Amino acid sequence: MVFGIGFQEFIIHDSPLATDDSQFTTQDMSTDSKNLNDTTGIQLPAGACVVIVRTEWNAATVDKLEAGCKEVLAGYKVQQMSITVPGAFELSFAIKKYWEQHKYKDDKPCVFIALGCVLRGDTPHFDFVSKAVTDGIMQLNLTLPVPTIFGVLTVDNQQQIDERTGGIHGNKGAEAAITALKMIALVNTFK
């Protein structure tokens, strides 16, 4: 597994984390790159913990994202918990507050996964919320010592939701979990 950051590459050559009887497979992701779905060789620290922060808004969609996310994490026996916030705008606040309360505890997360769905309507509200959520999560990645994975759908219609929650584009919640595993492993190489 090769992780690239800037001009540096980090290579992990160890055996897969999952045992032969607990291998996890997902649908192909919506890209031609097979490396995005490859978790071979990922080494996670003992007690790796993931906190999923999800929205109530568009609950049926977010439930599917969360299910995909939890399936991947369970396949790798990663500790996980979920926190629910009202809407996508509140994701960044909840993540920051949770980190502040847990950063010195044994159960501090190695990564956060933000899950939500912002569906375009008839007003510019979609644009404001989408930008605020994106900027908030980016800001968390620049200020917290642990990654925050962007698992928020920004879609125009129900068809796009269906395609990204188990349809032709896979499950973006499962993809967010795979990204989280890779980021935990990458950050662990910095120690």
Catalytic residue annotation: 125
Pairing mode of beta strands 165-167, 170-171: antiparallel
| Structure token digits, residue 57 | 């808004």
CA dihedral 85, 90, 92, 94 (to 10 degrees): -40
CA atoms within 13 A on the CB side of 74: 8
CA dihedral 28, 29, 34, 35 (to 10 degrees): -130
3-class SS of residue 29: coil
| Structure token digits, residue 24 | 């996890």
